Amino acid sequence: MRKIMTAAGLAASAVAAGVLMASPAAAWTANSQFDVTFPNQRPKTTYMVEQNGAVKGDMTGKSVVYWQLVPGATLGDGTRFTSFKITTRIEERLTPDGEDHVATKKTCDMTEIINNYYNWSFDTAQNTCVAPSTTYDGELYWSSDATIVYDIAGDDKGAITQELQGTTLIHG
């Protein structure tokens, strides 16, 4: 009887140790939406961004951009932007209320695809920006965030920065 209980105790301890040492596997998502109004009868468009942060051994972060004409918009000249770039970041901080520090980032130029298509609702490499992954440290607080900088063709206002909603903090 003692051997059975000892074996069962060792097996339970091994399972518990495996659970404690297993790397976390979790994902968080945040969504942002904003409208852009264009001059010269070009269509008003809604842009939606899905921001993802995940821990699968390493910390990863990606942004997926979708867009569509607002109801009632009419088609005009296809060149809406001279530039449309999104920068996806993986950020870390020491405490929940601490200052973010960028661990990795990547800027993706989506000007061509956005100018070529009035609507886009697919998940493809063309509308996705993935920051390089980084080693996950459970002692820190992590998030995935992004910023879009765009310049509307023909409005003479220059670049506009659109801050996006980042994911909730990942920790532990």
Q: How does pLDDT run across 106-165, given as a tens digit for each residue?
A: 999 999 999 999 899 999 999 999 999 999 999 999 999 999 999 999 899 999 999 999
Is residue 9 situated within a structural domain?
no
CB 29 within 8 A of CB 144: no
> Closest Cα partner for 105 from 64, 50, 61, 165?
61
Read off the pLDDT of residues 20-47 as tens digits, 9 standing for 90 and up. Answer: 333 446 889 999 999 999 887 778 899 9
CATH number, residue 58? 2.60.40
22-26: long-range contacts, CB 8 A cutoff, minimum separation 24: 23/55, 23/56, 23/57, 23/136, 24/55, 24/136, 24/138, 24/172, 25/55, 25/56, 26/54, 26/55, 26/170
In the predicted structure, residue 56 carries a pLDDT above the cut 60 = yes
- Count of domains observed in the chain: 1
Beta-sheet pairing, 81-93 with 128-135: unpaired
Is residue 37 situated within a structural domain?
yes
What is the rounded average pLDDT of the residues 7-32?
Answer: 53
Is residue 14 situated within a structural domain?
no
pLDDT score at 6: 34
Owning domain of residue 111: 23-171
Is residue 16 situated within a structural domain?
no
Give the contacts of 158 (CB within 8 A, at least 6 positions apart): 151
Is residue 8 situated within a structural domain?
no
- Whole-prediction pTM: 0.82
pLDDT score at 76: 65
Is residue 135 situated within a structural domain?
yes
CB 11 within 8 A of CB 18: no
Q: What whole-number distance in Å separates Cα of residue 87 and Cα of residue 130? A: 9
Is residue 137 situated within a structural domain?
yes
Read off the pLDDT of residues 67-115 as tens digits, 9 standing for 90 and up. Answer: 998 877 666 666 899 999 999 999 999 999 999 999 999 999 999 999 9
Is residue 155 situated within a structural domain?
yes
pLDDT score at 25: 66
In the predicted structure, residue 7 carries a pLDDT above the cut 80 = no
